[in-house]
Amino acid sequence: MDRFHQMQVYVAVAEEEGFAAAARRLQLSPPAVTRAVAALEETLGVKLLDRTTRYVRATEAGRRYLEDARQILADLEVADEAAAGINAEPRGHLAVTAPVLFGRKFVVPGIVDYLQRYPEMEVNAVFLDRVVNLLEEGLDVGVRIGELPDSSMRALRVGTVRTLVVAAPEYLAAHPEPAVPQDLLDHTTIASSAGNFARGWRFAPGLGEHALRVSPRLTVTTNDAAIEATRAGFGISRLLSYQVAADIEAGNLQILLEAFEPPPSPVHIVHREGRHSSAKVRAFIDLMGERLRSDPALNPRV
């Protein structure tokens, strides 16, 4: 049995954490998927997967092999594309990740554009409000907001976002507007645990960047919910500029303490491929990079 086929099947089973799901993804029969993995384990003399009636998980050896197999298959794909010519049409499967609200507002429209341009492509979009390890979670491309501590990722900077303190006009009509960050301790605050602002709110300049520890009356698990409560006039919240741009423009929310904002945070498209990335990844990054760089919410025209 072809080793590359076995690798492809194993990667699908490990990523999908199931034989049936991998069979659907690869458009193979479940028995064919089971045979391929069993043959690979027999050839290697190593157990790659732990199987129970409830789940399928990669073993420690299986996780190490998964990383190597992904890289080998990516290199094979690049070699195939090079042989076919640089103008080869992107085809196959692409896994993309981004923060939840950012994904909905900016990434989904780009994905739709991408899929319409390249009918041989399929995309799986994973939107999570946490830093995702692309390699460990089998993802090809991600959008990250903030500084990039992981130097192993290749990155394209596409814009910046501000960290804003906002409130509705209705709330400000009934409460004095805070003049300095410390005044927030006398106000009703709203926090989202989806971001990094639940309790320590950073401010600058003044005496240097510092964090104010707030005690929110309302803490929610999504930024959408924090925006809704703030828009309803319940209190003051801290959000990223792209999340509330439309509400600010419409007059539903007002920016507070603008003089004390911390420096803007960069927005990058990151990927884990080397210099010769595959056509499907290059095409997606080119398309998404152009869209994000031209968006005034990320690159204001001053």
Which strand (E) or helix (H) includes residue 213? strand 210-213
Ranges of each domain in the chain: 3-84, 92-158+271-293, 163-260
155: pLDDT strictly greater than 70:
yes
Per-residue pLDDT of 167-192, as tens digits, reads: 999 999 999 999 999 999 999 999 99
> What CATH class has 163-260?
alpha beta
Quote the radius of gyration of the chain (alpha carbons, Å). 23
**Portion of the chain with pLDDT greater than 70, in percent:** 89
Q: What pLDDT does 85 receive? A: 59
Question: How far is residue 55's CA from residue 77's CA, in Å, rounded to a whole number?
Answer: 30
Contact predicate 30/20, CB 8 Å: yes
Does the pLDDT of residue 69 top 70, yes or no?
yes
Give the pLDDT score at 98.
95
- Cβ neighbours around 135 below 10 Å, total: 15
Domains 3-84 and 92-158+271-293 share a fold: no
E strand map for 24-149: 49-51, 56-58, 92-98, 121-127, 141-145
For residues 194-209, give the mean pLDDT.
Answer: 66
- pLDDT tens across 38-54, in order? 998 988 898 999 888 77
pLDDT band at 84 (very low <50, low <70, confident <90, very high): low
Q: Hey, what amino acid is at 255?
A: I
Q: Is the pLDDT of residue 75 over 70?
A: yes
pLDDT band (50, 70, 90) for residue 194: confident
254 burial level (CB within 10 Å; 0-12, 13-18, 19+): middle
Which CATH superfamily includes the segment(s) 92-158+271-293?
Answer: Periplasmic binding protein-like II (3.40.190.10)
Query: Band of the pLDDT at 130, cuts 50, 70, 90?
Result: confident
Greater model confidence, 219 or 300:
219
DSSP, res 2: -
Would the pLDDT of 87 be above 70?
A: no
For domain 3-84, give the CATH number: 1.10.10.10
Q: How much is the pTM? A: 0.70
What local confidence, expressed as pLDDT, does residue 53 receive? 76
Q: pLDDT category, 133, cuts 50, 70, 90?
A: confident
Work out the mean pLDDT of the chain and round it to a whole number: 87
> Does position 302 have pLDDT exceeding 80, yes or no?
no
How far, in whole angstroms, is CA 141 from its chain's centroid? 8
> What's the pLDDT score for residue 15?
86
Please provide residue 125's backbone torsions phi and psi, each rounded to the nearest 5 degrees. Answer: -105, 125
What is the predicted pLDDT for the residue at 225? Answer: 95
- Per-position DSSP letters for 190-205, written without gaps between them: EEETTTT-SSEEEE-S
- pLDDT recorded at residue 156: 92
